[in-house]
Amino acid sequence: MANHASEHDHDPGTHESRIVVSRLIDASAGDIFNLLTNPAQHRQFDGSGFLRSEDRSFRISKVGDVFTMNMEGDHMGGEYQTENHVTAYEDNKMVGWKTAPAGTEPPGWEWLWELEAQGSDATEVTLTYDWSKVTDKELLKKVSFPLVSKDQLEHSLGLLAGAVVKS
């Protein structure tokens, strides 16, 4: 059953408050989904350079799960942790989460990975980075959205393609 509260579109490119990128990856949707739902593997396909490691996380299995990541970036003054609240989950089709600084509620940005099988050994992967629900004016002043560029998101898809081949 699909579970996702946010609206999104499938037009590739940059929009006012979201970036959408897609890539055909030569792997099954199941193999890709297996990587995406394992936070311990996320560093392999992090095109932003912020992710350092997962922190005592477990495989994502449903909407409502929360996983913690160790991060580093000048925008947060160095090392920090995020809690990622799963907002979308459908086996072999979709997984998404809203990210928040550890110990806080998500302030509104979301990552959504959508998988569309193209036969048994190829999958169209769409990655959406959406910050349209960020309403905190202080946060909007502090963080210059988008924090992750379209090029970095496309790099993530390239890294994911390489990671799924190795797994």
Query: Are the beta carbons of 55 and 68 closer than 8 angstroms?
Result: yes
How many Å apart are CA 91 and CA 94, to the nearest integer?
7
Q: Is 115 helix (H, G, I), strand (E, B) or coil?
A: strand
Mean of pLDDT over the chain: 85
Which among 33-47, 54-68, 87-101 has the top mean pLDDT? 87-101
Question: Residue 43's pLDDT band (boundaries 50, 70, 90)?
Answer: confident
Can you read off the two tokens belonging to residue 56?
Answer: 């005592």
Question: Structural domains in the chain?
Answer: 13-166 (3.30.530.20)
> pLDDT tens digits for 108-122?
999 999 999 998 999
Strands of 13-15's sheet in order across: 13-15, 18-25, 123-130, 110-117, 94-101, 78-90, 66-73, 51-54
What percentage of residues in the chain have a pLDDT greater than 90?
54
Question: Residue 123's pLDDT band (boundaries 50, 70, 90)?
Answer: very high
pLDDT tops 80 at residue 96: yes
Q: Give the pLDDT confidence score for residue 144 in this predicted structure.
A: 78
pLDDT tops 80 at residue 71: no
Can you read off the two tokens belonging to residue 137?
Answer: 């004016």
How many Å apart are CA 96 and CA 114, to the nearest integer?
8
Q: Is 55 helix (H, G, I), strand (E, B) or coil?
A: coil
